[in-house]
Amino acid sequence: MSSFVPGRNICSLRTAGIIAILMLYSHPGAWAQSMDTALTSLQKKNAISVYYRSLQQQSGLYNGSEYVPYVDMLKESHPYFDTSKMVNGSVYYNGISYTNVPMVYDIVRDELIILHFNKVFFLQLIKSKTESFEILGHSFVHLGRDSTKKEGVRDSFYDLLYNGKIKLYAKREKMILESIPNMTIERKTYSKNRYFIFKKDRYTEVYSKKSLLYFFNDKKSILKQSLKKQKIKFRKQREQAIIAMVEQYDLINP
């Protein structure tokens, strides 16, 4: 990875493909050695047409900047969501849906990272073009892009936990903490989850059980009973409790 420069824009795949085709057809002798000489002009045109269709589907995805992993600088941790290994996911990018894309989500830098099609290096997708993505069974949505609306959330990716009449999102965060034991710098990550409810075109952060019950004040007693019945302890099962309360509130408010 050291031979690549961070932040460098990736050359256009479209341009490279056009050059390859021109070189291929400018040497008929070499072409004849590798392909059936009976290939007709129409077949050649069809082959080029198929190539361009494939090119158009992929070139829009592989146009970010190179991403240089920095996991080696961390001790016993990594900056990614759940796993440091590339896993297949899907992404809605610049108006096009792509599936089976090898990816990881860097939640320290809040960037979606994919494996380049040549499998040599990694790409950091352009955040403004990344509308949503799915990874490890979680659906992340890009919120807060319009700062003029003052919606209550900053420009970032949020994990959609409940999608009903009201919605619940989690902001997955990691921060790098430094310490200097024995005159050497050690870096570890600290994880934190923040929760936001979307109701009536406004996002409200859930800080505690008290703040959530205040938000659902008209159904507070019912929600308390529901948690007790399900034997969910807010302090020990915070995310599960918030999801259960939001879902219950949504069900009893048609």
**Residue 42: helix, strand or coil by DSSP?**
helix
Average pLDDT score over residue span 102-108: 96
In the chain, beta strands by DSSP E: 65-67, 87-93, 96-106, 111-115, 122-124, 130-135, 138-143, 156-163, 167-179, 186-199, 202-206
DSSP 72: G
Question: pLDDT for 20-74, tens place per residue?
Answer: 544 545 555 554 555 555 556 666 656 665 555 455 445 689 988 999 998 888 8
**Residues 96/60, Cβ–Cβ less than 8 Å:** yes
Cα–Cα–Cα angle for 66, 71, 74, nearest 5°? Answer: 145
DSSP-assigned letters across all residues of 19-59: HHHHHHHT-HHHHHHHS-TT--HHHHHHHHHHHHHHHHHHH
Q: Which of 40, 47, 39 is nearest to 17 (CA)?
A: 47
Question: pLDDT for 170-198, tens place per residue?
Answer: 999 999 888 887 777 888 888 999 999 99
- This prediction's pTM: 0.75
The torsion angles phi and psi of 127, rounded to 5 degrees, stand at -60, -40
